[in-house]
């Protein structure tokens, strides 16, 4: 998010983990009357007129907290805010014919139920086989196996989930939808619920974990919680116990914010890492139990579920075109269900 007055100075406030940006601009006292679209295109770096028009159409441009049209004339001391989805980097994306579990699609968006093990977008070491590569082929089947510019396919990601997390993602298919959804993520009106299996028996039936999340100062590959708030980004996770199995607990998680590895690092911070999360200590067998063959039992569970036990179960938002409430659910996948059932049977015995 960038906040600045209209005098050329700027101050970086924060960087969101969702794929959007937020600007707040105060017109100076000498501002002459000027259309808001022309005002903004002169003050936001690397933004096209199409992106600005899409943001205005999506209701993501406000002046003094009121939505405006392109024709609005900016006056001195007006406060202009805008939420923009990050445009895809203009790089070549290969159209990979990879089956996708698409549970809903229309002209504005697509809802994908991502399998664990699939990277969401291309990056160093993962240029092929990602969700974006699969979507490129889904949108352009005639270009299978070919490389096309990302700008031409518009798989508009406005959020993401980890490679080894399964579950629901919403992907925009045009600029207006992407901007509209990005604004909902910014306002925290998107409803996101996860199912997680965590080590240990939680003391409370429900609760909230709050703590700034940032890159670990000792290992830049992982995140850490900084409760004093002097580093990282504000993060809030609400949880409710769904079922107790003595040694592990099944929890429902509701995200108020969307930080990198948020659920995983938050539960590690309270001493309950996600089951088999190898980056946050969940792949270590908890000691202190008494029944025989416990180690073998846990290792069998690890073999069935070779990833962190986390699933993005539901997703709710306002449709960017129809303005209707949309809600989608995804069943917990088989690998996680099998492990839950093994723990359930063990706890009952």
Contact 331, 114 (CB under 8 A): no
What are the contacts of 64-68 at 24+ separation with CB within 8 A?
A: 68/36
Identical fold between 92-187 and 191-348: yes
Contact 129, 119 (CB under 8 A): yes
- Name the class of domain 191-348: alpha beta
Residue ranges per domain, the chain?
A: 2-85, 92-187, 191-348
> 164: closest CA among 333, 296, 338?
333
The pLDDT of residue 5: 40
Q: What mean pLDDT do residues 107-116 have? A: 96
What are the strands of the beta sheet with 2-5, ordered from one edge? 11-12, 2-5, 20-26, 79-85, 61-63, 66-67
For the entire predicted model, the pTM comes to 0.80
Q: Report, as residue numbers or ranges, the catalytic residues.
A: 162
Q: What mean pLDDT do residues 212-228 have? A: 88
Q: What mean pLDDT do residues 190-217 have? A: 94
The domain covering 2-85 belongs, at the CATH homologous superfamily level, to RNA-binding S4 domain (3.10.290.10)
Average pLDDT over all residues of the chain: 86
Q: How far is CA 341 from CA 5, 197, 305, 334, in A?
A: 57, 12, 12, 10
At 307-322, the pLDDT tens digits run 999 999 999 999 999 9
At 6-42, the pLDDT tens digits run 433 332 223 335 566 778 889 888 888 898 888 888 8
Could you tell me what percent of the chain has a pLDDT over 90?
52
Tokens found for residue 157: 């990601």
Which CATH architecture fits 92-187?
2-Layer Sandwich (3.30)
């Amino acid at each position: 998010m960038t906040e600045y007055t209209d005098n050329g100075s700027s101050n970086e406030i924060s960087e969101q983990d969702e794929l959007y940006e937020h600007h707040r601009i105060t017109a100076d006292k000498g501002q002459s009357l000027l259309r808001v679209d022309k005002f903004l295109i002169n003050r936001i770096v690397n933004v096209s007129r199409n992106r600005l028009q899409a943001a205005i159409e999506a209701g993501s441009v406000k002046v003094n907290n009121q939505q405006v049209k392109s024709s609005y004339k900016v006056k001195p001391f007006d406060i202009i805010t805008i939420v923009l989805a990050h445009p895809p980097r203009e790089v070549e994306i290969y159209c990979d014919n990879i089956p996708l579990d698409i549970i809903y699609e229309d002209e504005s968006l697509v809802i994908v139920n991502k399998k664990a093990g699939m990277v969401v977008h291309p990056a160093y070491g993962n240029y092929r086989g990602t969700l974006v590569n699969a979507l490129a082929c889904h949108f352009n089947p005639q270009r299978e196996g070919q490389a096309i510019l990302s700008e031409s396919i518009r798989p508009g990601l406005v959020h993401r989930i980890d490679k080894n997390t399964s579950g629901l993602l919403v992907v925009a298919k045009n600029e207006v939808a992407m901007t509209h959804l990005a604004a909902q993520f910014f306002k925290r009106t998107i409803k996101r619920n996860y199912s997680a299996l965590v080590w240990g028996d939680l003391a409370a039936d429900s609760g909230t974990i709050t703590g700034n999340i940032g890159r670990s100062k000792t290992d830049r590959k992982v995140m850490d919680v900084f409760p004093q708030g002097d580093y990282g980004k504000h993060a809030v996770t609400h949880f409710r116990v769904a079922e107790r199995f003595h040694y592990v607990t099944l929890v429902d998680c509701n995200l108020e914010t969307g930080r990198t590895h948020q659920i995983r690092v938050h539960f590690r911070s309270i001493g309950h890492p996600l089951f088999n999360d190898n980056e946050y200590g969940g792949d270590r067998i908890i000691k202190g139990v008494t029944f025989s063959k416990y180690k073998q039992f846990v290792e069998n569970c690890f073999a069935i579920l070779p990833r962190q036990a986390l699933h993005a179960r539901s997703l709710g938002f306002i449709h960017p075109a129809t303005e209707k409430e949309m809600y989608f659910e995804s069943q917990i996948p088989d690998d996680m269900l099998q492990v839950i059932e093994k723990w359930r049977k063990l706890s009952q015995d």
